[in-house]
């Protein structure tokens, strides 16, 4: 810009580099995201734990659920 040689907006630079697939920080492998969840075939084959911080009357509690 300072020397009036060439100028490209940040959005244009991002679009060009993204289309050339050079914006990745590392080489990502294929993931199974979006392929669905395989249901367990028998009891206790899959467990799920949730932990939450709950405040009741000014006192903080941990709520832990196991399914």
Taking Cα atoms as reference points, which of 55, 54, 37 lies closest to residue 46?
A: 37
Beta bridge partners, 59, equal 56
pLDDT at residue 56, rounded to an integer: 93
* Block residue for tokens 């709950």: 54
Q: pLDDT tens-digit profile of 22-33? A: 877 776 677 778
- pTM across the whole model: 0.37
Percentage of the chain surpassing pLDDT 70? 91
What does the pLDDT average to over 6-32?
A: 82
Q: Which two tokens stand for residue 44?
A: 């206790």
Query: What is the mean predicted confidence (pLDDT) over 7-34?
Result: 82
For the record, the structure tokens of 33 come out as 């995201």
């Amino acid at each position: 810009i300072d020397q009036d040689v060439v100028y490209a907006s940040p959005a244009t630079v991002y679009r060009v580099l993204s289309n050339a697939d050079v914006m990745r920080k590392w080489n990502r492998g294929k993931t199974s995201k979006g392929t669905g969840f395989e249901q367990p075939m028998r009891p206790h084959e899959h467990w799920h734990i949730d932990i939450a911080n709950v405040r009741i009357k000014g006192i903080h509690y941990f709520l832990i659920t196991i399914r």
